[in-house]
Amino acid sequence: MPPLVSILITAYNAEPWLADTLASATGQTWPNTEVILVDDGSTDATLAVARHFEGPSVRVLHQENRGACAARNAALSEAQGDFIQYLDADDLLAPDKIEVQMRRLAEEPAGAVASCAWSRFYDDLATATFKPETNWKDFEPAARWLVHSWSVHEMLPPLAWLTPRAVVAAAGPWDEALQLNQDGEYFARVLTHASKAVFCPEARVYYRSGLAGSISRRKGEAALRSLFRSYARCDEHLLRVDDSAAARHAVACLWQTFLFAAYPSLPDLTRRAEARVAALGGGSRKAEVSRPFRPVRDLLGWKPALRLHRLWYRLRYPSHV
């Protein structure tokens, strides 16, 4: 019997998309999988949709609403697999995603994790296009993926990874107190405990964006303070295993990402983040502003450019503020 892969799905009010997501999980060509879905206190028909898929290899659990990280930890505690595949209730796996990655991992050293090609889509899957990024390659040791990706501001969504259970166990549980960058902090731990990160170009996943209420859209003070805590932990995770100049530059770039999100609303944390960037030797990230404000950014700095950009945005789109 080939190794068992546990596909862990968390769902909250996902009724419109869940059937497609479950079909993509149960339709995997890898011959030995289990699906564990945790409904996190949905108030729509999510649980009923999930129950329709229950069977010998699909388990559905229900808990009071405690958040996505708590639901992932609950699913993980029930998983029996040798490998772990995380999957949000609105995202999709290509049918051979797991098989391609499992066959590659069989050729790699113990503790290797696998990533794959991913595409962002909104309402229509037909609009999904795969645009290769510079982190679509192998990294050894795996922590170098963090060094590279943080430096160039690239990402991979959680469903792109396939992770051995031993690495998941070493990394520890999801941090249930975080509101933003939950997956970034978690996979920073995964990658600093993995031996190698291998990229499988033939494996594909589809990452849905643009949903109202998405965690990544939270911008309030509590969410930004949580983002600060997550970056502080990412800083610690990477520098624990790699204190090179390249790693310190990558962490500085990560802190610059926080600066651009938090300025000027949180001056206390902005000052602390700026001090950390300086202590690390500086980063190379530039604040993202519309074209008319780029000369201001380049001549006067990112702070006046962001202030002008946000003032312009509030005036032009008052209903979005």
pLDDT at 183 over 90: yes
What pairs with residue 40 in β-bridges? 63
Separation CA 300–CA 185 (nearest Å) = 33
Residue 272 in this model has a pLDDT that exceeds 60: yes
What share of the chain has pLDDT > 90, as a percent? 85
Note the pLDDT of residue 255: 98
pLDDT digits (tens, 9 = 90+) for 12-28: 999 999 999 999 999 99
Q: Measured over all CA atoms, what is the biggest interatomic distance in the chain, rounded to whole angstroms?
A: 63
Question: What is the H or E stretch that residue 316 is in?
Answer: helix 302-316
Q: Spell out the residues 6+ positions from residue 78 whose beta carbon is closer than 8 angstroms to its own.
A: 36, 59, 61
pLDDT at 127: 86
Q: Is the pLDDT of residue 118 over 90?
A: yes
Structure tokens at 99: 């098989």
CA distances from 141 to 107, 112, 194, 300 (A): 16, 9, 8, 39
- Asked if the model's pLDDT at residue 47 lies above 90, the reply is yes
- Give percent above pLDDT 70 in the chain: 96
The helix (run of H) or strand (run of E) holding residue 20 is helix 15-26
Q: Per-residue confidence at 214, pLDDT binned at 50, 70, 90?
A: very low
Strands (E), 25-101: 33-40, 58-63, 83-88, 92-93
Burial class (CB in 10 A: 0-12, 13-18, 19+), 260: middle
Q: What is the pLDDT of residue 62?
A: 97
Structure letter (DSSP) for residue 216: G
pLDDT band at 216 (very low <50, low <70, confident <90, very high): very low
Averaged confidence pLDDT in the chain: 94
As given in the structure block, the two tokens for residue 37 are: 């879905």
pTM for this entry: 0.93
CA–CA gap between residue 225 and residue 207 (Å, rounded): 26
CA distance 243 to 74: 34
> Is the peptide bond prior to 141 cis by the omega test (within 30 degrees of 0)?
yes
- What is the sign, positive or negative, of the torsion defined by CA atoms of 197, 118, 90, 66? positive
Residue 46: the pLDDT is: 97
Average pLDDT over residues 202-229: 80
Give, in order, the Cα–Cα distances in Å from 135 to each of 65, 150, 152, 156, 288.
Answer: 35, 10, 9, 9, 21
The pLDDT assigned to 215 comes to 46
